[in-house]
Amino acid sequence: FNVSPVETTPFDGQKPGTSGLRKKVKVFKQPNYLENFVQSTFTALTPQKVRGATLVVSGDGRYFSKDAIQLKFTLDVLPFLLLPNKSVPTKKGGILNVSTSDALFCVNHENNFVIEHGYKIIIKMAAGNGVRRVWVGQNGLLSTPTVSAVIRERVGVDGSRATGAFILTASHNPGGPNEDFGIKYNMESGGPAPEGITDQIYENTKTIKEYLTADLPDVDITAIGATSFNGHDGQFDVEVFDSASDYVKLMKSIFDFESIQKLLTSPKFTFCYDALHGVAGAYAKRIFVEELGAQESSLLNCVPKEDFGGGHPDPNLTYAKELVSRMGLGKSNSEVEPPEFGAAADGDADRNMILGKRFFVTPSDSVSIIAANAVEAIPYFSAGLKGVARSMPTSSGLDVVAKNLNLKFFEVPTGWKFFGNLMDAGLCSICGEESFGTGSDHIREKDGIWAVLAWLSILAYKNKENLGGGELVTVEDIVRNHWATYGRHYYTRYDYENVDAGAAKELMAYLVKLQSSLSEVNEIVSGIRSDVSKVVHADEFEYKDPIDGSISKHQGIRYLFEDGSRLIFRLSGTGSEGATIRLYIEQYEKDPSKTGRDSQDALAPLVAVALGLSKMQQFTARSAPTVIT
Ligand code: VG1
Ligand code: CO
């Protein structure tokens, strides 16, 4: 193949956010938009590191990963195209709307279609930049945790190991022609690129003049196998591999599958998993059904779709509607007894929501409970935990566990990339975020299915003696016992999505200004609610990485109260339009007789203070948040 430079001009706004670059598909579809970002990444990594590299390229399968909805016909006449279970009338040069699985079927059976794929652009540019080989999950599908696992664990057919990855995902953001696409780069450790690299990528996008690409033929990524090409500077290989087997193997090395299987196949225990049509579906069947014996009917929305079935693939009480009602939460008046355990994942399968029968486990509680039980219940941790960590807005529940168990503890800014150095240095085994992210040092991303297996392990452990006879220890029992031991951190997050960006900035600036006078703050607070304690400290969170000394500023506005309550305000870094304000509200209750209250009731005074103090309604013209978790 030949490599040639292609002229290009910079695009504005290619700054990676909390987790990569996320924009509307329309934006990504502009000629050279994706190419500019990819070349800027290669340049940031430096040619020395890119030459000879082995890169993983895959994603959650969302629209534009393979521009598969728009099949451009190359046949002159094609009156009917046969799709599985249906035939669709087509016309010359037309555009046909089909799902990914249908499209892949077409690719398999009709080689006459030209499909433009995000990953194909990257494969050609990788060859153009001297990369030695690219690994692609079959059909371009790999969950984000799997990409991390593949970088760390997989050995290629020729004995090679991966040095990094492009992950094509916008995670929990909706997908489809009018929704979001995203891309991020992960490093040799398996974790997201640190700020030093993402800042450099952004600088490069502002000055880019050309990118390098190779005139490779398209590679069929639907079939497992390796293809080699010869360039002027040597060979380039594309290896397509099974999307699930490396990940399944890793999970089996961490958990006691036998004991989880006993639980899942016990008539006493019922289970439900909702992949929200994200890539987790591809793993759920393999792990929960084939390996662990769950019934196929316990899987909801487990067929990956490139538009996530039109839904919002974010596992929370608002967006995981079907699961929430199946679990007997919300407005369900079904006669059917809900399952004992339910869980959901986001688009790229790194998030998780854990539910018990008619019971919601907050993500902050979830990481605390996993940390408190890991050593007994999960073989991987049997030698003890190296330490635990949480992101700043996550509740302080984990702090209490760390203190009681005498574990090292760290508080980092929002975003999984900040946990990586701690894990690499052997300082942290388990970490979590309030945003439905939980994980461990088995990889360098949060891991949705891992979290579910961790919970199933805890349930299996607590019910070892009970599956034959005796009463089942439920999810709710485990959480209530945890509160009784450690106290409860009442917690809620209010999201104001897609508000005017200017207004959001003004609100934040106002809150920072207010911090200069605590007496004024306390006057406002007591004017709103006299039953709320005093603000004793207010600042913007700043983090100095204990390993590399790098400093991250402006990581969220904090108001800390005398009784341990906290109010935190942040702007989201993962949205693609407008601004999203996140308000995090937390209150600690140590008294075991008071840990059973309804969370929104318990937090009502603090919520009133937060909304009043920030003048939320004045600034945003919103009387209520879009999502409450
Ligand atoms: C959000 C969450 C953050 C998480 C990030 C990526 O970021 O708050 O905790 O790490 O999403 O998750 P932000 O900047 O919008 O608050 V995912 O599953 O979208 O990669
Ligand atoms: Co995600």
Distance CA 368, CA 430 (A): 9
Return the pLDDT at 459.
97
Nearest CA to ligand 1 atom 19: 171
Phi-psi region of 198 (alpha: psi -120 to 50; beta: other; left: phi over 0): alpha
* CATH class held by domain 3-67+116-243: alpha beta
Cα–Cα distance, 7 to 465 (Å, whole number)? 68
CA separation for the pair 629, 76 (Å, rounded): 53
DSSP 444: S
Helix (H, G, I), strand (E, B) or coil at 143: coil
Nearest to 172 by CA among 262, 90, 279, 72: 279
What the block records as the tokens of 230 is: 């010869």
Residue 458 to residue 436: CA distance in whole angstroms: 18
Per-residue pLDDT, 60: 86
Atom from ligand 1 closest to the CA of residue 575: 15
CATH architecture of 246-486: 3-Layer(aba) Sandwich (3.40)
Which stretches of 58-129 are DSSP H helices?
100-109, 118-128
pLDDT value for 66? 62
CA–CA separation, 586 and 394 (whole Å): 9
Identify the pLDDT of residue 333.
60
Backbone φ and ψ of 388, nearest 5°: -135, 160
- Output the residue whose Cα is nearest ligand 1's atom 17: 171
Q: Which residues of the chain are in CATH 3.30.310.50 domains?
A: 488-628
Separation CA 461–CA 581 (nearest Å): 40
Ligand 1 centre to CA of 603 (Å) is 24
Secondary structure (DSSP) of 451-478: HHHHHHHHHHHHTTTTTTSSPPPPHHHH
User: What is the rounded distance in angstroms from the CA atom of residue 383 to the CA atom of residue 224?
Assistant: 38
Q: Delimit the CATH 3.40.120.10 region(s) of the chain.
A: 3-67+116-243, 246-486
Q: Which residues of the chain are under the pLDDT cut of 70? A: 66-118, 331-334
- Helix 144-153 to helix 448-462 angle (10° resolution) is 90
What per-residue confidence (pLDDT) applies to 332?
Answer: 59
**Ligand nearest to the CA of residue 573, numbered in listed order:** 1
Cβ-based neighbours of 97, under 8 Å, separated by 6 or more = 69
Substitution candidate for ligand 1 out of 279, 446, 574, 577 with most atoms within 8 A of CB: 574
Is the separation of the CB atoms in 136 and 122 below 8 Å? Answer: no
Q: Which atom of ligand 1 is nearest to the CA of 348?
A: 18
State phi, psi for 627 to the nearest 5 degrees.
-135, 135
Q: Which helix (H) or strand (E) holds 273?
A: strand 271-274
**Of all atoms in ligand 1, which is nearest to the CA of residue 570?**
16
Separation CA 627–CA 515 (nearest Å): 27
Mutate to test the pocket of ligand 1, among 179, 180, 394, 414 (most ligand atoms within 8 A of CB): 414
Q: In what order do the strands lie in the sheet with 225-231?
A: 21-24, 180-186, 164-168, 54-59, 133-137, 234-241, 225-231
Distance 510 CA to ligand 1 centre (A): 24
- For residues 175 and 348, give the distance between their C-alpha atoms in angstroms, rounded to a whole number: 11
Ligand 1 — pocket residues by CB below 6 A? Answer: 18-19, 171-172, 346, 350-351, 391, 414-416, 433, 435, 437, 572-574, 582
Lookup: tokens for 315: 């596992």
Segment (H or E) for 585: strand 579-589
CA 276 – CA 304 distance, rounded (Å) = 8
Q: How do the residues of the chain divide into helix, strand and coil, expressed in percent and rounded to 5?
A: 35, 25, 40
Long-range CB pairs of 535-538, under 8 A, 24+ apart, other chains included: 535/559, 535/560, 535/561, 535/562, 536/560, 536/561, 536/562, 538/514
Q: Which pair of structure tokens corresponds to residue 545? A: 């990485």
Catalytic residues: 171
Contact, 120 vs 140, CB < 8 A?
A: no
3-state secondary structure 28-68: HCCCCHHHHHHHHHHHHHCHHHHCCCEEEEEECCCECCECC
Q: Are strands 54-59 and 133-137 parallel, antiparallel or unpaired?
A: parallel
- Residues 317-326 as b/e (b if ≥16 CB within 10 A, e otherwise) read bebbeebbeb
Helix axes of 501-514 and 518-528: crossing angle, nearest 10 degrees? 110
**In sequence order, which residues have a C-beta less than 8 Å from that of residue 290 and are 6 or more positions away?**
none
Give the Cα separation of 277 and 372 in Å (integer): 32
Distances in Å between the Cα of 435 and the Cα atoms of 106, 344, 574, 626 are 38, 13, 12, 15
3-state secondary structure 471-516: CCCCHHHHHHHHHHHHCEEEEEEEEEEEECHHHHHHHHHHHHHHCC
Position 286 scores a pLDDT of 95
For 488-628, the fitting CATH number among 3.40.1710.10, 3.40.640.10, 3.30.310.50, 3.40.30.10 is 3.30.310.50
Compute the distance between CA of residue 419 and CA of residue 179 in angstroms, rounded to an integer.
29
